[in-house]
Amino acid sequence: MRALLSVSDKTGIVEFARSLEAQGVEILSTGGTAALLRRHDIDALDVAQYTGFPEIMEGRVKTLHPRIHAGLLARPGVDDPVLAEFDIERIDLLVVNLYPFEQTIEDPHCSLELAIENIDIGGPAMIRAAAKNYRAVAVATEPADYGDILTAIKAGGIDDDLRYRLAAKAFGHTSAYDAAITGYLHQRLELPGEQRFAATRALSLRDCQPLRYGENPHQAAALYIHDRGKEACIADAELLQGKAMSYNNIADADTALECVRQFYEPACVIVKHANPCGVAVDDDCLAAYRRAHSADSTSAFGGIIALNRSLDGATAEAILGQFVEVIIVPEVQDDAKKLLARKRNIRVLVTGWWDMERVGSVEYRSVNGGLLAQERDIALVNPQDLNVVSQRSPTEHELRDLLFAWKVCKFVKSNAIVFAKDLMTIGIGAGQTSRVHSARLGTIKAADAGLAVKGSVMASDAFFPFRDSIEAAAEHEVIAVIQPGGSKRDNEVIAAVDEHQMSMVFTGMRHFRH
């Protein structure tokens, strides 16, 4: 048996090669891998010596040679005469992982030239050749493969089933690698005019995590990872304790984290069915949690809680007083860990700390037969961006509440209306097919929670098509409104605001969410 080893990730390669050698496997290797093996007294024949052709162009050409590729592609019983004619030996096992392209481009200072030099050519060519000829060749693309291969060899040989599974994995590996390269190069394209998306787009999805089921028990589901490590996110968070995350847990947790990330001050966001049901900002997370929970304690039952500060013992103890599915925090303090351990079923996700400066990226949503792509809605509105359109300007206190409500409204399903007072949601009207019904629902939710809408502000994710929502808010003595503006009836809406001595600002930015 003959194996070719050429790896950039040297994890476990020495031990694996030594075990192969002990099983009588002849080892071929390239440059750095061969030197490493020889330093550990492992007999490895250099590929250049095997092919009779040296590495050239600073290593750009090492394995692109007929003796290598014919050895990988030769079909038993079919190509034997060709191998004999050209004195080519079979290669039965290929162990290759590729230049670290993705790790290289993660460096914000990475130049195009450096990225290009980290595009592997020979590696993918060998992997594809070996995977194509899986009936005769086994291919390993990561250290995790070594154990199964070695066990099979010790048991008498690598069977068809293992070679097939390794081949399927190998093609996925090269596909993801090419997708990463394509994505990087497309990001650098200067597209004309309003064209922000290239004609083709390749996605690299990996690290599949099977889930118990999807939105409903009869639906199979899994979580795939992409853009790992670029910023704090649910997909990359550490599950500190608790049961495995479900499909719905992940979707809700994503909404909670993305919402809480907007706030500089200590904040708490509670989410149920992908809608915020209670949000508050305060001097510390304990106070923020208590106020967010009181905003709609009924909906908070079995909810998802996100905080933007380290979870301390006092806050953990307060949270444990309710039924909660998931807690999301950047960090957990030791006293909180001890308290949480009493309820091991509660899922605790630790995201690590994040930058307030968001990284622009693309999000996707599947439709039957296609995939929608759009830039993530990460834009924030600052006080200087607001256009006061009412006769009365908002007070400083009103302005704080308006901007707070606007941040929350962005994560509520459309049509979305948020009532807020003193940096706390009072009532949230989500997902209604008419805006005025969302406004009415928000007042009903406030009443159910025993909260007064009087003196609160109202945020709307899109413009008011009629003045009816303003009238509904005025019935409850709302004092200020924030909305994008842009309706044909803006003047009627502004007139209604002025009639009720409210203040109103336009943001010029819509936040539909579906």
Per-residue pLDDT tens digits for 336-359: 999 999 999 999 999 999 988 877
pLDDT in tens, 399-415: 999 999 999 999 999 99
Residue type at position 368: N
Give the pLDDT band (50/70/90) at residue 192. Answer: low
CATH topology of domain 2-187: Rossmann fold (3.40.50)
Q: Domain coordinates of the chain in residue numbers? A: 2-187, 232-350, 383-506
d(CA 447, CA 77): 81
pLDDT tens, position by position, 197-207: 777 777 777 77
pLDDT of 241:
94
Average pLDDT over residues 458-486: 96
**Is the backbone peptide bond immediately before 415 cis, with ω within 30 degrees of 0?**
yes
Beta bridge partners of 32: none
| CA-based nearest residue to 182, from 202, 160, 211 | 202
Q: Which residues fall within 8 angstroms of residue 361, CB to CB, at 6 or more apart?
A: 227, 230, 375, 376
Q: How far apart are CA 77 and CA 39, in angstroms?
A: 38
Instruction: Give the rounded percent of residues in the chain with a pLDDT score beyond 90.
Output: 71
Does 107 score more than 70 pLDDT? Answer: yes
Residues catalogued as catalytic: 132, 273
Which helix (H) or strand (E) segment holds residue 319: the answer is: helix 313-319
Burial of 85 (0-12, 13-18, 19+ CB in 10 A): exposed
pLDDT of 193: 54
Flag the least confident range among 140-149, 186-195, 451-460: 186-195
Return the ∠ at Cα 262 (arms to 258 and 266), rounded to 5°. 110
Distances (CA, A) of 33 to 10, 18, 60, 96, 404: 8, 13, 15, 10, 56
- Sequence-separated (6 or more) residues with CB below 8 Å from residue 334: none
* The pLDDT value given to residue 106: 81
* Chain mean pLDDT for the chain: 92
Q: How confident is the model at residue 328 (pLDDT cuts 50, 70, 90)?
A: very high
Q: Do domains 2-187 and 232-350 have the same CATH topology?
A: no
Under the banding of pLDDT at 50, 70 and 90, the label for residue 194 is low
Query: For the chain, what's the residue count?
Result: 514
pLDDT in tens, 159-178: 999 999 999 999 988 988 88
- Residue 227: what pLDDT? 66
Three-class SS state of 400: helix
Whole-number pLDDT of residue 254: 96
Predicted confidence at residue 360, as pLDDT, reads: 76
Structure token digits, residue 352: 């690590």
Q: Report yes or no: 276 and 428 within 8 Å, Cβ to Cβ.
A: yes
- Measured from the Cβ of residue 477, the count of other Cβ atoms closer than 10 Å reads 13
Q: Burial of 89 by CB count in 10 Å (0-12 exposed, 13-18 middle, 19+ buried)?
A: middle
For 488, the token pair is 């044909």
**What phi, psi does 71 have (nearest 5°)?**
-65, -30
The model's confidence at residue 195, banded by pLDDT at 50, 70 and 90, is low
Of the candidates 77, 84, 176, 175, the residue with the CA atom closest to the CA atom of residue 135: 77
Q: What is the chain's percent helix, strand, coil content, to nearest 5? A: 35, 20, 45
CATH number for the region 232-350 comes to: 3.40.140.20
> Which residue is listed with tokens 């949230």?
428
Measured distance CA(144)–CA(150) in Å, rounded: 11
Closest CA to 449 of 309, 293, 226, 219: 293
What tokens were used for 320?
A: 């444990």
Residue 327 or residue 190, greater confidence: 327
User: Is residue 425 classed exposed, middle or buried when 0-12, 13-18 and 19+ CB atoms within 10 A define those classes?
Assistant: buried
* Contact yes or no for 482/509 (Cβ under 8 A): no
Longest dimension (CA), the chain: 96
Query: Which pairs from 321-326 meet CB under 8 Å and 24+ separation?
Result: 322/293, 322/297, 325/249, 325/252, 326/242, 326/245, 326/249, 326/252, 326/253, 326/256
The Cα–Cα gap between 213 and 56 comes to: 52
Which two structure tokens, joined as six digits, stand for 342? 């009493």
Chain centroid to CA 234: 6
Residue-wise pLDDT for 216-274, tens only, equals: 999 999 998 876 556 889 998 999 999 999 999 999 999 999 999 999 999 999 999 99
Of 457, 466, 471, 467, the C-alpha closest to 505 is 457
Hey, what are 292's tokens? 């967010």
What pLDDT shows up at residue 335?
95
CA 289 – CA 266 distance, rounded (Å):
9
Do residues 239 and 228 make contact, with C-beta atoms less than 8 angstroms apart?
A: no
Alpha-carbon distance of 259 to 377, in angstroms, equals 11
pLDDT band at 361 (very low <50, low <70, confident <90, very high): confident
Q: Mean per-residue pLDDT for 107-116?
A: 88
Tens-digit pLDDT profile for residues 54-97: 888 877 887 888 899 999 999 998 888 998 998 899 999 999 98
Assigned CATH for 383-506: 3.40.140.20
pLDDT, tens digit, for every residue of 11-54? 999 999 999 999 999 999 988 899 999 999 998 888 888 888 88
